[in-house]
Amino acid sequence: MITIRPLYVAALIFILWGLGSDPSLAAGGAYGSPAAKQAGADSGKTLFEGNCAGCHGIDGSGAMGPSIRQAAANLGPEGITSYLKNGVMGSGMPTFGQLGDAKLALLVDYVGSLGQEGSGVTPGDPQKGKAVYNSKNCSQCHIVDGRGGDLGPDLTRIGTQRGLTALHGAVVNPGVKLPLDALLAERAQFTAYRMQRAVTKDGREITGMRVNDDTFSIQLRDASGQIHSLRKFDLQTLEELPGKSMMPSYKDTLSETEISDLVGYLASLRGAQ
What are the pLDDT digits (tens) for 128-147?
999 999 999 999 999 999 99
Which pLDDT tens digit goes with each residue over 216-231?
999 999 999 999 999 9
How is domain 126-182+247-268 classified at the CATH fold level?
Cytochrome Bc1 Complex; Chain D, domain 2 (1.10.760)
Helix, strand and coil content of the chain, in percent to the nearest 5, comes to: 45, 15, 45
Per the document, the length of the chain is 273
Q: How confident is the model at residue 237 (pLDDT cuts 50, 70, 90)?
A: very high
Top CATH class, 5-113? mainly alpha
| Per-residue model confidence (pLDDT) at position 250 | 96
Write the CB contacts of 147 (distance below 8 Å, at least 6 apart in sequence): 139
The listed range with the strongest mean pLDDT (5-14, 89-98, 186-195, 262-271) is: 262-271
Boundaries of every domain in the chain: 5-113, 126-182+247-268, 194-240
Rounded to two decimals, what is the model's pTM?
0.61
Which pLDDT tens digit goes with each residue over 20-75?
333 333 333 444 556 666 776 788 889 988 888 888 878 777 666 777 877 776 77
| Rounded CA separation 45/52 (Å) | 10
3-state secondary structure of 141: coil
> Within 13 A of 65's CA, how many CA atoms are on the CB side?
24
Which range is least confidently modeled, 80-89, 195-204, 215-224? 80-89
Decide if 5-113 and 126-182+247-268 have a common fold. Answer: yes
| Per-residue model confidence (pLDDT) at position 9 | 38
How is domain 194-240 classified at the CATH fold level?
SH3 type barrels. (2.30.30)
Which pLDDT tens digit goes with each residue over 148-158?
999 998 999 88
| Per-residue model confidence (pLDDT) at position 201 | 96
| Per-residue model confidence (pLDDT) at position 138 | 97
Environment class of 42 (CB within 10 Å of its CB; exposed 0-12, middle 13-18, buried 19+): middle
